[in-house]
Structures are given as structure tokens and as C-alpha cells.
Structure 1
Amino acid sequence: MKHKTTFEKLPQANTGRSKNWKTLQAICLLLFLSVSFTAYSQITVNVKEISLRASLKKIEQVSNYKFFYNESLPELNQKVSLNVKDATIEQTMQQLLGKMELTYKKEQENVIVLIRKSQEKQETKKVTGIVVDEKGEPIIDASVQVKGESNGTITNIDGYYSLMNVPESATLIISYIGYRTVNLSVKNQNTSKITLVEDSKMIDEVVVVGYGVQRKRDVSTAISSIRASDIADVAATSIEQALVGRMAGVQITQPNGTPGAGFEVKVRGVGTVTAGSSPLYVIDGVPLSDDTGDATGITVSPLASIETSDIESIEVLKDASAAAIYGSRGSNGVVIITTKQGKEGKPVVKYNGYAGAQIVTDKIDVLNAYEYSQLVFDGHNNAYYDQLRVAGKADLYNPNATNQERWNNLKTGSMIENQGWMLPPEILPYVRGEEGLVDTDWQDTVLRTGFITKHNLSVSGGNKNIKYMLSGNYQNEEGIVINSDFTKMGFRVKVDVNYNRWKFGGNINLTRNIYNLVNTEGRYGDDGVLSLALGAAPIYPVRDENGDFNYEHNHTSYGQSKLNNPVAVATLIEDQMISIQMLGTA
């Protein structure tokens, strides 16, 4: 029995359902767009007399809009009022900004950027370029920003930068730590290659620490530093004199006023009783010995070979790290001096010089010839009266008795003048008050105004491969004591060479110092000129009637002390020291 199955085509009942489904989809899309539009367009806000900034934040709270603006806009603090209900963003902003010189633009559907009306009309462009240093090397992470706007960026590893939407009238600010900030007009200046120059005022961010160069903020050791600009205008005859009072923890004193004499430098005070207290000096990486010689009353400074104008920087290492680097020689601290070097560019000629004078501002107040004679007269009479009293002859005392009468009252035989109770005859005219007598101020005879002249001439320059610096200096310093002076002549050459991967150079410094010395520190018995000047009697002249030095006070009669003529001592005793120092590094 066979079964026969018959398939019949049924009516398409779902055709209408498909049309209804499409209609439903269209209605849902319209509803979604309507809801979305309503969400962004319906703004209801009612505020009175609050700042524009606060009003924008209120709109952000009741809608999905986000506002962006430059915080420097003064209008942000302006008081405004706003009263809208179910308003669009266009209606809201029109009422809010009113007559302000502000407008807005939509960056995205719900992002509103507040700008000035003048900016709206400006054309913008893309600005690109590279930032390099003076050597042409790219500077990484340099800041490039549009002045007055938040639009900015930093350079990449190759020094390149790129900025979008930069107004044609804008100004770019390019900055980097340790370099001078550059302002460039986008319209009138080339921004494709920007060169930054090191700022000398910020170089002190970098210090030399003996084992290399580090940024000062990264150094944990105790360091004081001074740059060339700090002492450029200081009228000083030596490096130590220029540093007085400029470094914390560094004590610099002048033991005497001898021209060219070294100073005493102590770092952290005196740390030992038996050993020396002077620091170690390191010039361009070369430690110097402090055994540079001495002479009458002075010690030659290790820094006498360096001209102040040739110094680039001075660092003083003050803690235990100095000993860790330089051993026991650095136990009293280390003074590191770096000299100047040539820079790339055309030859630069510089001259530094000054002239000055040293004067005595306050002399010691001593007796004049008349006061001195009266004092000697009274002193010898006191001794005479004392001798008479001991001999039981006090009733014979007469202050005006002659030396022969005094002798007859106390002694017998021939008269001997070497007696303290007898009167020196040279004082008697002064005691009687005679006028026009010799009255010598011995301080004036040995002291003077000392003139100082100092000159430095340098030539520097170079290119990428070689840099050079040559300098010569001359200094003449007269001491305030007659016939004392110091003369210094020096010459320095410093060359740095860059050839492919090789770097080498040399530095030679040659100095000749001449010291004409006068003993100013010794006792009067050791021919110390100042002691002699204070002790010499003002009743004697410097020279006699023949023009020769007067030595009348160089005797012991009448109980007086033996003194040399201080002017003769300063003039006739020759004490000259010549010091030649050469410092070379390579």
C-alpha cells in the first residue's frame, strides 16, 4: 500500500509582520534620538549673581555638557545671572555670555570650549620643529607651549615637537631647565629649528665634586659653590680675598697686610693641634701642594698662580666625603677650582682691569715731640728724686738741676752719662716750650697710600672641533709700608680638541711673582718697622743736616733704649723673593 504525501503552499501570513517589525524599529530609533536630543538640549538653570565659572559648573551638573577654558580668562570671575528652562545649549550660552568678549565652539557632541571672539576668527595651523642646544644636539623633553593657552607639548627623544591648532598670531614659549627661555612668534619667526642657550645664572645647578660633575640638587654632601659671575665685579687682589664672607663654613682671614701674602683658609674650623689646618687645593683636577715657600712675614699662597678673571667656578667640599675622594690630604676640606675654557664661535677679546688705593684709616695715637719730652723729663726726675731719697738727700731735689749738679749730689769722680736719673739734653728745648723744633710723626714716615693696578686680557673662541682660550695678566700692588710691593705677571693657554670620538686638550699656566718685603711683624729689637715707628722718639729727624739717615736715637745713654731709624730699616734692608710657578694639565 503506497502512501502519497502532498505539499501545498500555505499563504504568507508573516509578510505583514515583517512590515510591522520595520516600522517598530524606526519608531524606536526616533524615540532614542528624541531622548538623546532631549538629554543634551533641555537645560534648566536659575542662578543669580554668581561667577561665570560657577555658572558653567552648574550647567555641567544638570546636563551632559563639559566645559573647557583657559583659567587666565578674567571673565571667569565676572558675576552673571541665568534663568532658562528646557533650553538648548545655544540658547543657554547666548544668555550666559551676553555682551562678553567670549564665545564658544563644540569640539564634540557634548564638549564645549570657551574662547575669545578674536580667537574664533583667527586661522590656525600645525607647527612643527626641532629644539637643539648650542652644539646642535637635540634637547629631550623641552617644553613648547602656546603663550596664554593650555595648548602645549614636549620634545621627543630626537628633539622634535608638533603642535596642532596654533593661531597664526600666537607666540611659542620654549623652555628647559638650565637654559634661557625663548619666545618665538609663529607668524614672523622660523620655528623649524630652535636653539636654546645655557643660562649662566642657572649653571650653579651643576657642581664639581671631585669624582665628576653632578647636579647640585642631587648631591647629598656639604658643598659651597661660587660662579665666575659672583666675583666678577669684586675688586680683589687675590682669589681668597674675593671669597671672604661668601661661603658658609669657610673662614678666611688675612694674617698681615704684606702685599701678595697668602690668606689663612679654614674649612669647618681647626680639626687638629699639631697638623696643618689648610684645605687641599685642586685646580682643573690637579691637587696642589701647600708647600709653596715663605719669606719674611709671609706665606706664599698655592693660589698665587691663578688669576681671578680666569676662574669659572669654585666648589668647597666640607664634609667627610672630601677625605673619601682625596684621602688624608682632604681631611681639612677641599677647594676645587675650574678655570674658564673657550667656546664655539668667533674670537672674543675681553679686557678686565681696575685701579685702586690702600690707605691707613686709623693710626695709633702717640705723643708729639713736646708731650714726649715732658714725659721723659718727669720720668728722669722721678728717678733722680728716688736716688736722692735712698741716699738721704731728698732735700737737695731740684727738677731743673743740671746733670753735673745731679752727679755731684749722688756720685764722685768723673761723670758717666749712662744714668737714668740724668736728663737727656735734647729734650730741654722742648720742656722750655721753644717753637719750631723737630716734631716727627714716625708713622707718617713709614706708611703711605699704596696704589693697585690690575689688568687681564683674554682671547677665546673655536669651532666644533677645537676650542681655545689665551689670557695674560699683570698686577702691581704697593704696600702701605714704604718699599713694600708685589708684582705678578702670568700667562695661560687652554685648548680642548674634539676629533671624531677622541677628546683631548691641555692647560698651561705660567706665573712670575716678585715680592719686595719689609719686616712689619717683628719686634723693634728685630728691626720690625712698625714697632720701631711706634717706639722712635719724635724729637729726632729722619735725616740729618747732610741728608743722611739720622741715628741719634741709636744709643743707650741716659738710660734710653737703643732704636734704629725705622725709615732707614725699611729703605736700606733689601728682602726680595721671586716665585715662578707653572701648572700644566693634559
Structure 2
Amino acid sequence: MHNFTSFFRSNKRILMLLLLIFTNGYLFAQQATITGVVKSAPDNLGMPGVSIRLKGTAIATSTDAQGNFSIKIPAKAGILEFTSVGYQTREIQVTKTTNFTVTLTEDAATLNDVVVVGYGTTRKQDLTGSVAVVGVKDFQKGSITTPEQMLSGKVSGVAITSNSGQPGSGSTIRIRGGSSLNASNDPLFVIDGVPLENGGVSGASNPLSFINPNDIETFTVLKDASAAAIYGARAANGVIIITTKKGLGDGLKVSFNSVNSISKIVKQLDVLSADQIRSIVNANGTAAQKAQLGGFNTNWQDLIYQDGISTDNNISISGGLKNCLIACLSVIRTKAAY
């Protein structure tokens, strides 16, 4: 007993170090790495940004862009919680399995989720306004001269009436009818997040005439007065949000659009001929009026109206040049080095 006490006292530090190593090794051996993938029920695709937490603890992680995850838990036991906005929370019991494939289903009753609208945020249960979206596939086809013509007849409650046949005259747009006698009844236009003043653009009768219809990607129409909560009193007559096309970073994309049209008069006005006018003047006119009569039989409608041929060609190049720019800079630097 005396020898053991002497040995323990002389090797106390060594024994404590060994005890600490064995304890940490035991605790490390108790940890388990749980991996897997989280997919959505409708399309069976990986879900990024899903929160994964060991229930009752602060141990948590999230999925990557492909829906994969990896989390370390103290032991091969516990409950993992999978949560994502707009999806039902799911709990998985961890026992001996260390790899999981978890499928989350959509939850239509998540009214407390935050939704980004315009340049503000609101809860789903507060977003009760009527919203209509018209994309490229739904636009009006044919010869389009102004952007609002692509929206004509595509959204219920939106009336678009041409002001005149003058080029660039624009149209009168009313969303669910006018509501004011003195103030303007025009809707608010928001182009790529920038609201236009209700008074229009100085020097143009139509504020949309500056936009090429081929550059528009979507129209979003906010028809209810609840849009005023986002854009203020200017949105009392509704809001038309215009989103233009943008280049993607997957290489260059060349688009060409050509519209050719022929205008031809279908029916001329039924008017008196020159001989019929002369007979009336000769029967009822004065001598001075009879003296002004000529002998020509000109059909002025044939001279005024003629067949019109028009063409509208648009070519656009879009895309991302990031990789190309980096490569060009590398070449320049290489040449400069030599």
C-alpha cells in the first residue's frame, strides 16, 4: 500500500493526463455524424437553406445548395427537426441510421411567413390584395408599338383604350374603373423597382414609350387598394410593375425578333361622285358656284389611301462575361509578365 501511494504521488501528473485522454476519446467515440439530403415533395429536388436542429439542444446546421447536410450529435440517439419557410416541420428519430433522405411537404397554412412585396415586407395573412402576373408567353402577338398593348385583354379588371392613332400617343389605362373626379385615375408604373411619377415623364405623352416592348419580361398588376400600403397614396388607382429582361451568367445569348405587317384599306367611304356633285350645283347653285365646277372625276380616296408595309427588327445580346473577363485579364497579366 505504501509503494502504491508513493507511485501515485510521483506519477500523479502522468496518470491525470492519461485519464483526460481516455475521457475525451470516450466522448469523441460517442459522437455521431449524421448526413443526408432534404428534398421537396412536389418536384423531388434538393432544398437549400433548410434548418436542421437536434431537438432540445443548440446543435444545428443547414443544407447546402443541393440540399445535402451533415451534423454531429453527441450520440446515435435523438430527434432531428427539419424546418423551412412554407413547408411542414418534420421530425426524424435518430437511432442506428446515419444517412437520411428527408422529404418536406408544402404547408399552405403558414400565414405567419414573411413575404417580400415591392420594396417592403408583409405577412401572408395580410397580403389579401389581387395580384396578376403576365409573362412573355402570355403577351399579345403581332405588331406592338407600345408596351401596354401587350397587356391588353390579358388581365381582368384592366381596361386599356388607345387615345388616338397618332404614333406615341399612348393609351388610357384604368384598373377596376376610375374613382376620382378631379385627381388622376392613372395607375402607378414601377419599372425595375423605380416608381414613375403620376404626372408622367416630361416631354413624352406616354411614359412607357421609352421602353422597348421586346425588353419587357413580365407585367405584375396590383389591382386592390392594399397596394397603397407599399407604394403610398400614389397606388390608390392600382400598380403596374414592369420587370425587364436581364442577362444571365451562363454565356452569351443572342435574340432576334422580326415583325412584318401589311396595312390595306378594307372599305372606302361611300361619297358622291364628281358628276353627282356637279348635277346638284347646276340645279341649285349660283352662277359663281357653277363657274368653279371643273370637269375632272378624281377619286381622292384612291390617292390618299395606299397599301402600307412596315417592318420592326430587334436584335439583342445578353449574358455574363465574368469568366471571359477573368480569362482576358489573365492573358494580359501573362503578356505583361513577359
Where on the TM-score scale, by shorter chain, does this alignment land: which range? 0.5 to 0.7
Selected match of 1:353 from 258, 272, 277? 258
Q: Is 1:141–2:141 an aligned residue pair?
A: no
Decide whether the 8 Å contact of 1:350 with 1:459 is kept in 2.
yes
Mapped to 1, the partners of 2:307 and 2:314 lie a distance apart of 24
State the partner residue of 1:259: 167
Q: Which amino acid counterpart does residue 425 of structure 1 have in structure 2?
A: A
Deviations, residues 360-412 of structure 1 (Å, cap 9, x unaligned):
3333221111122223334437xxxxxxxxxxxxxxxxxxxxx4xxxxxxxxx
Deviations, residues 492-532 of structure 1 (Å, cap 9, x unaligned):
xxxxxxxxxxxxxxxxxxxxxxxxxxxxxxxxxxxxxxxxx
**DSSP 3-state at the match of 2:296:** coil
Mapped to 2, the partners of 1:464 and 1:371 lie a distance apart of 75
| Percent identity of equivalent pairs | 38
- Shift of residue 306, structure 1, vs aligned partner: 0.9
Relative to structure 1, is the Cα distance of residues 322 and 217 closer, same or farther in structure 2, using a 3 angstrom cutoff? closer
Q: Is 1:308–2:216 an aligned residue pair?
A: no
**DSSP 3-state at the match of 2:228:** helix
- Shift of residue 466, structure 1, vs aligned partner: 11
**DSSP 3-state at the match of 2:270:** coil
- Shift of residue 257, structure 1, vs aligned partner: 1.2
Count the aligned residue pairs.
229
Selected match of 1:452 from 286, 310, 315? 310
Decide whether the 8 Å contact of 2:39 with 2:47 is kept in 1.
yes
Q: Is 1:424–2:290 an aligned residue pair?
A: yes
Deviations, residues 302-343 of structure 1 (Å, cap 9, x unaligned):
111111111111011111122232223222221110111111
State the partner residue of 2:240: 335
Which aligned pairs between 1:168-207 and structure 2 lie closer than 5 A? none
Decide whether the 8 Å contact of 2:188 with 2:240 is kept in 1.
yes
Relative to structure 1, is the Cα distance of residues 216 and 258 closer, same or farther in structure 2, using a 3 angstrom cutoff? farther
CA RMSD in angstroms, aligned pairs only: 3.7
State the partner residue of 1:292: 201
Structure 2: which 5+ residue stretches go unaligned? 1-34, 51-62, 70-114, 326-338
Deviations, residues 409-440 of structure 1 (Å, cap 9, x unaligned):
xxxxxxxx4xxxxx42243x7xxxxxxx4222
Q: Which amino acid counterpart does residue 334 of structure 1 have in structure 2?
A: V
Mapped to 1, the partners of 2:267 and 2:125 lie a distance apart of 46
Relative to structure 1, is the Cα distance of residues 453 and 222 closer, same or farther in structure 2, using a 3 angstrom cutoff? same
Mapped to 2, the partners of 1:425 and 1:269 lie a distance apart of 57
Relative to structure 1, is the Cα distance of residues 361 and 323 closer, same or farther in structure 2, using a 3 angstrom cutoff? farther
**DSSP 3-state at the match of 1:269:** coil
State the partner residue of 2:83: none
- Shift of residue 283, structure 1, vs aligned partner: 0.3
Mapped to 1, the partners of 2:161 and 2:124 lie a distance apart of 28
Deviations, residues 71-111 of structure 1 (Å, cap 9, x unaligned):
xxxxxxxxxxxxxxxxxxxxxxxxxxxxxxxxxxxxxxxxx
Q: Which amino acid counterpart does residue 291 of structure 1 have in structure 2?
A: G
State the partner residue of 2:149: 241
State the partner residue of 1:65: none
- Shift of residue 291, structure 1, vs aligned partner: 3.2
- Shift of residue 217, structure 1, vs aligned partner: 11
Decide whether the 8 Å contact of 1:225 with 1:315 is kept in 2.
yes
Deviations, residues 25-76 of structure 1 (Å, cap 9, x unaligned):
xxxxxxxxxxxxxxxxxxxxxxxxxxxxxxxxxxxxxxxxxxxxxxxxxxxx
State the partner residue of 2:132: 224
Mapped to 2, the partners of 1:143 and 1:376 lie a distance apart of 82
Relative to structure 1, is the Cα distance of residues 361 and 300 closer, same or farther in structure 2, using a 3 angstrom cutoff? farther
Decide whether the 8 Å contact of 1:143 with 1:155 is kept in 2.
no
Decide whether the 8 Å contact of 2:159 with 2:173 is kept in 1.
yes
Mapped to 2, the partners of 1:438 and 1:314 lie a distance apart of 55
TM-score normalised to structure 2 length: 0.57
Which aligned pairs between 1:40-59 and structure 2 lie closer than 5 A? none
Decide whether the 8 Å contact of 2:142 with 2:259 is kept in 1.
no
Mapped to 1, the partners of 2:228 and 2:260 lie a distance apart of 40
- Shift of residue 212, structure 1, vs aligned partner: 5.6
Decide whether the 8 Å contact of 1:143 with 1:154 is kept in 2.
no
Which aligned pairs between 1:317-466 and structure 2 lie closer than 5 A? 317-380=222-285, 403=287, 417=288, 423-427=289-293, 437-462=295-320
Which aligned pairs between 1:150-165 and structure 2 lie closer than 5 A? 157=50, 158=63, 159-160=67-68
Decide whether the 8 Å contact of 1:352 with 1:457 is kept in 2.
yes
Relative to structure 1, is the Cα distance of residues 445 and 258 closer, same or farther in structure 2, using a 3 angstrom cutoff? farther
Deviations, residues 183-225 of structure 1 (Å, cap 9, x unaligned):
xxxxxxxxxxxxxxxxxxxxxxxx9842369999995212222
Q: Which amino acid counterpart does residue 350 of structure 1 have in structure 2?
A: S
- Shift of residue 141, structure 1, vs aligned partner: 2.2
Decide whether the 8 Å contact of 1:358 with 1:449 is kept in 2.
yes
Mapped to 2, the partners of 1:232 and 1:281 lie a distance apart of 19
Mapped to 1, the partners of 2:211 and 2:163 lie a distance apart of 20
Mapped to 1, the partners of 2:164 and 2:248 lie a distance apart of 40
Q: Which amino acid counterpart does residue 449 of structure 1 have in structure 2?
A: D
- Shift of residue 241, structure 1, vs aligned partner: 1.6
- Shift of residue 359, structure 1, vs aligned partner: 3.2
Which aligned pairs between 1:533-544 and structure 2 lie closer than 5 A? none
TM-score normalised to structure 1 length: 0.35
**DSSP 3-state at the match of 1:309:** helix
Relative to structure 1, is the Cα distance of residues 460 and 257 closer, same or farther in structure 2, using a 3 angstrom cutoff? same
State the partner residue of 1:400: none
Higher-RCO chain (CA-CA 8 Å, sequence separation at least 6): 2
Mapped to 2, the partners of 1:215 and 1:141 lie a distance apart of 23
**DSSP 3-state at the match of 1:346:** coil
Mapped to 1, the partners of 2:234 and 2:209 lie a distance apart of 20
Decide whether the 8 Å contact of 1:283 with 1:338 is kept in 2.
yes
State the partner residue of 1:193: none
Q: Which amino acid counterpart does residue 360 of structure 1 have in structure 2?
A: I
**DSSP 3-state at the match of 2:233:** helix
Mapped to 1, the partners of 2:210 and 2:251 lie a distance apart of 28
Mapped to 2, the partners of 1:129 and 1:305 lie a distance apart of 51
Relative to structure 1, is the Cα distance of residues 155 and 274 closer, same or farther in structure 2, using a 3 angstrom cutoff? closer
- Shift of residue 154, structure 1, vs aligned partner: 8.1
Q: Which amino acid counterpart does residue 260 of structure 2 have in structure 1?
A: A
- Shift of residue 235, structure 1, vs aligned partner: 3.2
